[in-house]
C-alpha cells in the first residue's frame, strides 16, 4: 500500500485516536478536580468537627475502582492490587463508621 491508500483507509475508520486521547485526558482531569474538591471538603469538615466518613467513602470507592481496573489490565503491577485492597478495607471501615454515626451498628 502506498501512503494515499493508508491515509484513505485510516480516514474511513470510525476510531479516532486523537478523540480517544482527548476523552481520556478529560476524564483524568475531571477526576483530579473531583478528588481535590473532596479532599478540601474533608479538611473543612475535619476543622469544624463534622464527620467525614461519607466523603471518604466516595473517595475510597473511586480509588478502589481505578486501582483494580489498572491491575486487571496490567497484572505485572502488584502495587495496583495492593492499593485496591487497602482502599477496599478503608471503604468498609468508613462504611462501618457511617453506620455507627446513625446508630445502626
Transcribe the chain into DSSP letters.
Answer: --HHHHHHHHHHSS--HHHHHHHHHHHHHHHHHHHHHHHHHHHHHHHTT---HHHHHHHHHHHHHHHHHHHHH-TT-HHHHHHHHHHHHHHHHHHHHHHHHTT--
Task: Give residue-wise pLDDT tens across range 23-47.
Answer: 889 989 998 999 999 999 999 999 9
What does the domain layout of the chain look like in residue ranges? 16-101
Overall pTM surpassing 0.85 (yes/no): no
Q: Is the pLDDT of residue 22 over 80?
A: yes
Q: Specify the higher pLDDT residue, 80 or 12.
A: 80
Amino acid at each position: 500500500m502506498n501512503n494515499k491508500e493508508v491515509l484513505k483507509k485510516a480516514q474511513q475508520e470510525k476510531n479516532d485516536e486523537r478523540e480517544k486521547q482527548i476523552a481520556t485526558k478529560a476524564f483524568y482531569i475531571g477526576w483530579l478536580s473531583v478528588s481535590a474538591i473532596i479532599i478540601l471538603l474533608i479538611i473543612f469538615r475535619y476543622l469544624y468537627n463534622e464527620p467525614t466518613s461519607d466523603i471518604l467513602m466516595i473517595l475510597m470507592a473511586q480509588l478502589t475502582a481505578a486501582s483494580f481496573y489498572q491491575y486487571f489490565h496490567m497484572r505485572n503491577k502488584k502495587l495496583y492490587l495492593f492499593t485496591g485492597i487497602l482502599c477496599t478495607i478503608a471503604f468498609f471501615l468508613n462504611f462501618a463508621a457511617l453506620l455507627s454515626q446513625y446508630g445502626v451498628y
